[in-house]
Amino acid sequence: MPEILIAGTALRVANVFCVGRNYLEHAREMGSTIGTEPMVFLKPSSALVFAGEPLQLPAWSQEVHHETELVVAIGRGGRNIAAADALSHVAGYALGLDLTARDVQAAAKKAGNPWTLAKGFAGAAPLTSFVAADEITDPQALEFTLHRNGELKQHARTRDMAFGVATLIAWISARFGLQSGDLVFTGTPEGVGPIVSGDELLLTLPGLIESRFQVA
């Protein structure tokens, strides 16, 4: 299993939970709506790619999109975690990309099939380095960006999340249970779009994270 490093401590990755449609404007751009509960899916840990590694696009997709997200690393697991206690279970935060083979996803949706392949292919979950949880007082008071080839494509304000970090931790812990090393990709804002070979992606959480990824 892959490992992440937070403040000098290694943490073995367990599950990778991802939240869909957690920003209203992104839901609108996808022609969808936000429900009364989070929409959660899984990626395999083999989808993880770390800063410095090239992004390999799958040959069987002609339209891979970037989706930039705040990622939460769980340091202490549990079940039925109260929202009021949820942030005490967080070990650190990073930025990540929920890469999506959009053409494959669209075909799967049309056929009524699962879209695991579109979201979980090898390399579909790039991650920046992590910052320790105590460096971020309020995860709902953050802004982060994605630039593609120097052009701003996504700009998120985490206060715009439909379901905040604490709510997501509480909900996931009640339905699935959480364990140390679980990652939660918390959803993407509007501005998703295609990437191609040769692109450079810059993910920034001002003052804390600045990480570049090269598309092979």
For 57-78, b/e burial (b = at least 16 CB within 10 A) is: bbeebebbbbbbbbbbbbbeeb
- Domains detected in the chain: 3-214 (3.90.850.10)
Quick one: tokens of 123? Answer: 């390399």
Quick one: tokens of 51? Answer: 């800063």
Closest CA to 75 of 157, 175, 196, 184: 184
DSSP state letters, 66-103: E-EEEEEEESS-BSS--GGGGGGGEEEEEEEE--EEHH
Residue-by-residue pLDDT tens, the chain, 216 positions: 899 999 999 999 999 999 999 987 776 877 778 889 999 999 999 999 999 999 999 999 999 999 999 999 999 999 999 999 999 999 999 999 999 999 999 999 999 999 999 999 999 999 999 999 999 999 999 999 999 999 999 999 999 999 999 999 999 999 999 999 999 999 999 999 999 999 999 999 999 999 999 999
E strand or H helix at 175 = helix 165-175
